[in-house]
Amino acid sequence: MSGELSSANSRHPWDWYVEERWVTHRLADFLPLDEGVTYLDPCCGSGNIVEALAERGHQAFGTDLFERYAGARFLGVHDWMGDQRHLLEASDALSIFFNPPYSRQNGALVRGLAEKCIRRAIEVATHKVAALLPVKWLASKGRYNLFERDHRPSGIYILCERPSMPPGDVIEQLGKRAHDGGKVDFMWVVWDLLAEPLPHAPTFWIPPRAPGRSEDLKLERAA
């Protein structure tokens, strides 16, 4: 999962950074989600994207390299970028929503890791792919081909409220108190695989949540 720490030496060795469920709910508020489609998060971590989609009434499941998700929607340990495909990937109506690892695997730098995960998702999915990424990810010479030549996004959804995305091991220690204000701007990049590519990818700004809701969450974390 892409994280909010900038120092390579301080990053989680597997890029396990945990977004809160509201991050997915806010996307669902602005992006029409397909009915009758299975949603897969192949890097599900603690399962927040899966649970958020399920809370919206969608059939959603998750897999991961590690068993970090205790929910019934966890379909087991699976290497998304490995040679073996999961049975769910053969679904004829599949969307993939995920927070892909950005640059680290077992402590080692893997260049282009998030892009490789996204290209795999576009290959496997039949309907939509939505990837949660830092906004700065858009400005890259190396990813120009992904965006313009190979797979132009159908929409870029910028979160105007910065999400807090601490490492999963910190959450294991501190619980909800680990989420304490975001430091990095994030966005959802969406590919609609059934739609004709547009001349340019439209950009949407998702407004912050109502102030009262944010304050309620702060009090909840402090309890």
Residue 105 confidence (pLDDT) above 80 = no
Structure tokens at 50: 């899966």
Q: Which residues pair with 186 in a beta bridge?
A: 134
Asked if the structure places residue 161 within a domain, the reply is yes
Show the domain range for 168: 8-222
Q: How many domains does the chain have?
A: 1
Structure tokens at 14: 């597997």
pLDDT over 70, % of the chain: 83
Average pLDDT score over residue span 96-112: 79
Taking the CA atoms of the chain, what radius of gyration do you get in angstroms?
16
Q: What are phi and psi of 143, to 5 degrees?
A: -100, 10
CA 105 – CA 222 distance, rounded (Å) = 32
3-class DSSP state of 72: coil
CA 5 – CA 167 distance, rounded (Å) = 9
- Higher pLDDT among residues 54 and 216, named by residue: 54
Residue 2 confidence (pLDDT) above 50 = no
Asked if the structure places residue 173 within a domain, the reply is yes
**pLDDT for 115-142, tens place per residue?**
999 999 999 999 999 999 999 999 988 8
- Higher pLDDT among residues 166 and 55, named by residue: 55
Asked if the structure places residue 215 within a domain, the reply is yes
Asked if the structure places residue 2 within a domain, the reply is no
Q: What are phi and psi of 95, to 5 degrees?
A: -115, 150
Asked if the structure places residue 30 within a domain, the reply is yes
Structure tokens at 90: 């053969």
Average pLDDT score over residue span 84-99: 90
Asked if the structure places residue 3 within a domain, the reply is no
Residue 202 is predicted with a pLDDT of 96
CA 188 – CA 205 distance, rounded (Å) = 10
- Closest by CA to 64, choosing from 25, 117, 23, 28, is 117
- Higher pLDDT among residues 143 and 15, named by residue: 143
Residue 183 is predicted with a pLDDT of 87
Q: What is the pTM of this model?
A: 0.86
Asked if the structure places residue 1 within a domain, the reply is no
H/E run at residue 219: helix 211-222
Do the beta carbons of residue 19 and residue 133 sit within 8 Å?
no
Asked if the structure places residue 68 within a domain, the reply is yes
Do the beta carbons of residue 158 and residue 205 sit within 8 Å?
yes
Residue 107 pLDDT level (bands cut at 50, 70, 90): low
**Domain of residue 218, CATH code:** 3.40.50.150
